[in-house]
């Protein structure tokens, strides 16, 4: 199927000033010749055009003009896919764009699968697998820090370090296999120490990369935060303050919010999806009951919660029940309405939760109790909102959020491969120290090197590639 010439709309669907139809493959020029008619003495058919030139003309279908367009011709190998590429820029109407695409498909192209252009770039050696994933990260970036991380990965910062790690493991493996071929020669003590040192450094380096996994996932997909509390505590007002605009309906009538509302905000460089939920209480009707059910579903999916309490009322039995129920959830206690007479006092025991293993930003494998910071806010004046944003950042990210930290951060796929690689290299190191048969050392070391190779795509399966590129949008 990769011998086919493919085409797709490379810009978002909908009405706009311009749209781009991308064509890639061995027959891209021939397909474009059939669809595009040059206009003017300097305009050329794609097959007669020089590389990296743009030509004015029109797209014709069944003898009728479809649109007035510009046609960009880029010849292999200096293209994104390293194949011949033609990009037709037309007007951005929904119907006109679709009609231009249909004309290109009728001329001999096949509709591209999601991510197929980037997959071809990978298969043709234009990008490695981490760089290909960075293309999707770049498109979906919601903060400047996420954009910076995607650009660093696209530039090959992570690839360079992974390739160096794999080269070191393969070099060590070559030494081990050389000694297997000559069993009569024992490994000299200094040589053994050198081999052990290389494996130790490889394990230490993998540990360093694995420590970036939580931050990497936060940068790429952001976090979900559920705003919970009793009715009329100020949850919707808090959402509006965090977003900086009126998104949720605010009313003094308790139970106004019947459904969940989701909106994304940039909090100190971190993308956070805030979810305004229905007030937690015994439901008074079927609609409110459904709203509370959805609230609890959002709670289960959220990485942390903002538990809003009404400072103008004493702590109730319901408040205490919810504080206890969500003690094992990463959370911030938000005491709202501090502009009124403060009657609410939150006991210290509710500000320390149960112990959790390896929290985001924490040390690998360390168990420690969660803490629930208490932040006072006034959602009418906005007082305390900036302090709340600081508390959110501190809760999910240790230290400063800097561009330097984004240069080498791994995603969940990289994390899985590196964990398997670390385990295998550790087995190889232990076997070498125990003076076990070198065949066992070599076997584990090769498994580890192959797992590292999975990160950049030097060892892949068809299912892995399908899984990665199927998440891309059409036209990319």
pLDDT in tens, 143-169: 777 788 888 888 888 899 999 999 999
The pLDDT confidence band at residue 293, using thresholds 50, 70 and 90, is low
Q: Per mean pLDDT, which range of 43-52, 169-178, 186-195 is the poorest?
A: 186-195
Q: Cα(14)–Cα(12) distance, rounded to whole angstroms?
A: 6
List the domains of the chain with CATH numbers. 6-112 (3.30.1360.120), 131-212+410-469 (1.20.120.430), 221-402 (3.40.50.300)
The answer to whether 468 and 132 are in contact (CB under 8 A) is yes
DSSP 185: S
The answer to whether 260 and 283 are in contact (CB under 8 A) is no
% residues pLDDT > 90 (the chain): 40
Q: How many CA atoms lie within 13 A of 395 on its CB side?
A: 28
pLDDT in tens, 335-359: 999 988 888 888 777 765 444 434 4
The answer to whether 172 and 198 are in contact (CB under 8 A) is yes
Q: Cα(45)–Cα(322) distance, rounded to whole angstroms?
A: 70
Structure tokens at 115: 């991510």
> Taking all residues of the chain, what is their mean pLDDT, rounded to a whole number?
83
| Closest to 108 (Cα-Cα) out of 8, 2, 7 | 7
CA 473 from chain centre, in angstroms, equals 14
Q: Cα(231)–Cα(73) distance, rounded to whole angstroms?
A: 60
pLDDT of 363: 40
Q: Cα(123)–Cα(131) distance, rounded to whole angstroms?
A: 12
Give 341-376 as a DSSP string.
-------GGGGEEEEEES-TTS-TT-EEEEE--EEE
- Given a cut of 50, is residue 81 above it in pLDDT? yes
pLDDT of 366: 40
- Given a cut of 70, is residue 134 above it in pLDDT? yes
Structure tokens at 50: 């020089």
- The three-state secondary structure class of 436 is coil
pLDDT in tens, 26-75: 999 999 999 999 999 899 999 999 999 999 999 999 889 999 999 999 99
**Residues belonging to the chain:** 476
- Given a cut of 80, is residue 2 above it in pLDDT? no
Q: Cα(446)–Cα(176) distance, rounded to whole angstroms?
A: 11
Q: Which residues contact 324 (CB under 8 A, 6 or more apart)?
A: 350
pLDDT in tens, 390-409: 988 888 876 555 555 555 67
Q: Cα(426)–Cα(460) distance, rounded to whole angstroms?
A: 23
CA geometry: angle at 383 spanning 378 and 389, to 5°?
100
- Alpha-carbon torsion (182, 185, 188, 189), positive or negative: positive
The answer to whether 280 and 309 are in contact (CB under 8 A) is no
Q: Cα(250)–Cα(291) distance, rounded to whole angstroms?
A: 16
pLDDT of 287: 58
Q: How many CA atoms lie within 13 A of 11 on its CB side?
A: 19
Q: Cα(295)–Cα(390) distance, rounded to whole angstroms?
A: 25
The answer to whether 449 and 170 are in contact (CB under 8 A) is yes
Q: Cα(382)–Cα(320) distance, rounded to whole angstroms?
A: 26
pLDDT of 354: 45
């Amino acid at each position: 199927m990769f011998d086919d010439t493919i085409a797709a709309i490379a810009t978002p669907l909908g009405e706009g000033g311009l749209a781009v139809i991308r064509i890639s493959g061995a027959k891209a020029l021939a397909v474009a010749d059939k669809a595009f008619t040059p206009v003017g003495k300097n305009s050329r058919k794609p097959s007669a055009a020089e590389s990296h030139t743009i030509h004015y003309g029109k797209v014709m279908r069944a003898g009728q003009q479809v649109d007035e367009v510009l046609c960009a011709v880029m010849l292999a190998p200096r293209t994104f896919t390293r194949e011949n590429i033609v990009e037709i820029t037309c007007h951005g109407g929904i119907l006109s764009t679709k009609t231009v695409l249909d004309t290109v498909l009728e001329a001999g192209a096949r509709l591209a699968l999601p991510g197929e252009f980037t997959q071809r770039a990978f298969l043709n050696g234009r990008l490695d697998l981490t760089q290909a994933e960075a293309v999707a990260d770049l498109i979906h970036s919601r903060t400047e820090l996420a954009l910076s991380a995607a650009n660093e990965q696209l530039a090959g910062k992570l690839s360079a370090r992974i390739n160096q790690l794999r080269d070191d493991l393969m070099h060590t493996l070559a030494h081990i296999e050389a000694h297997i071929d000559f069993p009569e020669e024992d490994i000299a003590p200094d040589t053994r120490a050198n081999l052990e040192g290389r494996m130790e450094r490889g394990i230490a380096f993998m540990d360093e990369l694995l420590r970036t996994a939580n931050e990497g996932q936060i940068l790429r997909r952001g976090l979900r935060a559920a705003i919970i509390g009793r009715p009329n505590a100020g949850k919707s007002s808090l959402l509006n303050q965090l977003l900086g605009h009126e998104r949720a309906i605010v009313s003094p009538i308790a139970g106004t919010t019947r459904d969940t509302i989701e909106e994304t905000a940039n909090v100190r460089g971190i993308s956070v999806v805030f979810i305004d939920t229905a007030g937690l209480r015994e439901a008074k009707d079927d609609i409110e009951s459904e709203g509370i059910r959805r609230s609890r579903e959002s709670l289960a999916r959220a990485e942390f919660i903002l538990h809003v309490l009404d400072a103008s009322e004493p702590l109730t039995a319901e408040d205490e029940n919810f504080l206890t129920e969500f003690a094992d959830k990463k959370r911030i206690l938000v005491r709202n309405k501090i502009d009124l007479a403060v009657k609410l006092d939150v006991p210290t025991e509710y500000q320390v939760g149960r112990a959790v293993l390896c929290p985001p930003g924490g040390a690998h494998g360390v168990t420690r109790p969660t803490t629930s910071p208490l932040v006072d806010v006034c959602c009418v004046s906005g007082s305390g909102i900036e302090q709340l944003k600081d508390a959110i950042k501190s809760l999910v990210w240790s230290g400063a959020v800097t561009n330097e930290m984004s240069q080498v951060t791994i995603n969940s796929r990289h994390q899985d491969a590196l964990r398997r690689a670390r385990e295998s290299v550790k087995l190889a190191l232990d076997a070498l120290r125990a003076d076990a048969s070198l065949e066992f050392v070599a076997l584990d070391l090769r498994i580890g090197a192959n797992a590292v190779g999975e990160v950049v795509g030097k060892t892949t399966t068809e299912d892995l590639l399908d899984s990665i590129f199927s998440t891309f949008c059409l036209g990319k």
